[in-house]
Amino acid sequence: MTNSMIHPFTPADEEEKLAYELWTRIALDAITERSSDIHFEPFRFESHIRYRVDGVLQVISRQTNDSLQALLRVIKKSAGMNPDGSDIPQTGKILFSSDKTGGGEKTWDIRLSTFPTIFGEKLVCRVLDPGSGASVLKGDLSLLGLEGRDLELITGIINKPYGMVAFCGPTGSGKTSTVYAALSLLAKQTENRCHIVTLEEPVEFTIDGVVQSNVDSEGDFNYYRALKALMRQDPDIIFLAGVPDRDTASMALQAALTGHLIMLQLNSSDTAYAIHSMFEMGMEPYLVSMCIEGIISQRLFRKICPDCKQKVSISREVIDRIREDVENPDSVTHVWRGAGCEKCRGTGYRGRMAVYEILPGTVEIREFIAKKPGLAEMREKFKSLGYPTLRKAAIKKALNGETTLEEAIRCACV
């Protein structure tokens, strides 16, 4: 069994060799624990190594500050970064291969980002799991947990021939996975009859049948210039992973109005705030109303660990708190939680799932958007139309035993 970094690295001495071996053990352990990120953080008296598992950080190890900085030098060196450049932020990439996680040898894309602090340099490693990429690239939206009405709505929205579709949610909410799954589905359905192009920063996974491009929002090839050049390339569908300025927003809107399907990714808290953000970007309400085909907002929730899942009674006080979000609140007698076990590191949770709030661009919604309503007014209107909010969808998952009520309320807070 082997581990390897697909990047030339030769330890200069025994100290570097030991540090490199420690790094490979940390990387393998983080992967085994399903970590999305590894944090190396110096503080006043000691340094911490933390994993982000199922969206929550956990302290795994404590080190002296000197030993951490020596470890970071080796990690940066193995990534081809400047090992002595600790006073400025750097980025890098490592391809880590191992056959110790089961199922043969696999390769993980680990992306590094350093940041100077008053107690030394800190490093965050983003771990991109090839397995998660493989699932979203199958073009099957049901693998994301979409079902019933939600699956029908989102399938209808992304299959529009032109217009604008927004995917929104905070950082780490899984919206990129949803976009990738949607693009994979469209590429398979059209069978190369459609020109699909993405502008990303950076590209996370490659999608068969989709032309993908890396942009640099601070460089010459930024979103605006890339989109302007792309409009001469005869595209049918364009995905913008970011809309950083008004010029880009205006061009995206014009593209949606002139026969292209434009997919946007926005860091908005819910569907109403996504529309509000479009107004703030300078998009005229009447133009937004003409081209909006749908908005998909989402969150990721931790799932209850199946190995320690147990039923618990629910108090009348708690039922009163969720009364507006449940169809028959008086019939609710219990909820579920994880007691904590070895397999979930005592957290009671293992794995995550997505919960969606989907708003289609119906005639009534378009007419309402054209009036430039306020944020609170939009939220009230969309709720009155019967489209489930993130909170309502999350609480439904909790009552079905998929997550805890506490997790549903925490993550669906808007």
Distance CA(151)–CA(148), nearest Å, equals 6
Phi then psi dihedrals of residue 122, to 5 deg: -110, 155
Helix (H) or strand (E) holding 395: helix 390-399
* CATH topology (fold) of 3-128: Beta-Lactamase (3.30.450)
Both tokens of 10, joined, read 């030769």
Contacts 24+ apart (CB under 8 A), 271-274: 271/168, 271/295, 271/296, 271/297, 271/357, 271/358, 271/359, 271/382, 271/387, 272/375, 272/378, 272/379, 272/382, 273/168, 273/375, 273/414, 274/166, 274/168
- For the chain, the first-to-last Cα distance in angstroms comes to 47
pLDDT of residue 50: 98
Distance CA(6)–CA(28), nearest Å, equals 14
The structural domains of the chain, with segments of one domain joined by +, span 3-128, 132-411
CATH of domain 132-411: 3.40.50.300
pTM across the whole model = 0.87
* Cis bond upstream, residue 202 (ω within 30): yes
pLDDT of residue 4: 47
User: b or e along 122-148 (b: 16 or more beta carbons within 10 Å of the residue's beta carbon)?
Assistant: bbbbbbeeeebbeebbebebeebbbee
Compute the 3-state secondary structure of the chain and give helix, strand, coil in percent, each to the nearest 5. 40, 30, 35
pLDDT tens series, the chain, 414 aa = 345 455 557 777 888 999 999 999 999 999 999 999 999 999 999 999 999 999 999 999 999 999 999 999 999 999 999 998 888 999 999 999 888 877 788 889 999 999 999 999 999 999 988 777 777 888 899 999 899 999 999 999 999 999 999 999 998 899 999 999 999 999 999 987 999 999 999 898 899 999 999 999 989 999 999 999 999 999 999 999 999 999 999 999 999 999 999 999 999 999 999 999 999 999 999 999 999 999 999 999 999 999 999 999 998 888 888 988 888 888 889 999 999 999 998 999 999 999 999 999 999 999 999 999 999 999 999 989 988 899 999 999 999 999 999 999 988 875
pLDDT of residue 414: 58
Distance CA(265)–CA(285), nearest Å, equals 19
Q: Which residues contact 193 (CB under 8 A, 6 or more apart)?
A: none
* Helices and strands per DSSP (H, E), number in the chain: 14, 16
